[in-house]
Amino acid sequence: MIKNGYVATAWAGTMTSAELEKALAMNCIRCASERTRKDGQTRLGGQRWRCNDCGRRFTARSTSAFSHHGFPDDVIALAVRWYVRYRLSYADVVEWFAERGLVVDRSTVYRWVRRFLPLFGEAARSHRRPVGGKWRVDETYCHLNGKWTYIYRAIDQDGQVVDASFSERRNARAAQTFFEHASDETGVRPERVTTDKAKCYPPALRAVLPDVEHRTSKYLNNGIERDHGHLKQRL
């Protein structure tokens, strides 16, 4: 019986060098040909391949979102994670890398965040915990892309963000749009919704979630109020 972790080594030991090289080769990303050959290495140390049929040069990153970026994938992912998880500035991220012997410019980190944060968020969406049935909803006024706007947000009983929606106005129509989008996006119809005493929420809930229990309390929404603060640090 082959121990876990040695399967690939044992499998490779049963093959000739020619068979092994063919098994490890990559198909061409342009024409899907199997007739490819090694063509040196990239400056990051990755294997470069060339197609014998169409002449295309490519690597394992060529079809990835990380293609054409001059740093390894894990470095880029780590920079974006540090920026988001610890609420750092771009200069802070650069300093953390410098302490580890890696020189990165602030503008580079900025481009990474703009490029990869939406992709990471979309990839992580399918892995998050199911949204709970008790929502705390509130809106806040914030400055986004040079304009002042309202953002409607909700968290569930575990503090997980349910959804967010931007609106130029604070009215029942904007609140109704938020509840419709949140329900469609999560596939959850809440059993209880807690809001403040803003007049926009009762008509919106009657239109979208007529059977939901609606609570109005200033203090029960402290959790979503604190969560607004984390958001505004990034806007």
pLDDT given at position 213: 95
Separation of alpha carbons 226 and 223, rounded Å: 5
Longest dimension (CA), the chain: 75
* Residue 39 amino acid letter: D
Q: What is the pLDDT of residue 46?
A: 82
Distance, in Å, from the CA atom of 221 to the CA atom of 215, rounded to the nearest integer, reads: 10
What pLDDT sits at residue 7?
A: 42
> Which residues pair with residue 8 across a beta bridge?
none
pLDDT of amino acid 23: 52
Predicted confidence at residue 221, as pLDDT, reads 83
50-77 pLDDT, tens digit per residue, is 899 899 888 888 888 888 888 989 999 9
- According to the model, what pLDDT value does residue 17 have? 59
Boundaries of every domain in the chain = 21-63, 73-125, 134-232
pLDDT at 79: 96
Q: Extract the residue ranges of the chain whose pLDDT is less than 50.
A: 1-12, 20
Burial class (CB in 10 A: 0-12, 13-18, 19+), 112: buried
Taking the model in full, what pTM does it have? 0.69
Phi, psi of 110 (to 5 degrees): -60, -45
Q: Which residues pair with 51 in a beta bridge?
A: 36
Beta strands in the chain (DSSP E): 36-41, 47-51, 57-59, 134-144, 147-155, 161-167, 192-195, 213-216
Structure tokens at 224: 């979503």
**What pLDDT sits at residue 20?**
46
pLDDT (0 to 100) of residue 138 = 93
Per-residue tokens: 47? 């294997």
Adjacency order of strands within the sheet including 57-59: 36-41, 47-51, 57-59
- Domain 134-232 class in CATH: alpha beta
Computed over its alpha carbons, how large is the radius of gyration of the chain?
25
From residue 4, alpha-carbon distances to 9, 10, 15, 20, 23 in Å are: 11, 11, 19, 20, 21
The 8-class DSSP code of residue 161 comes to E
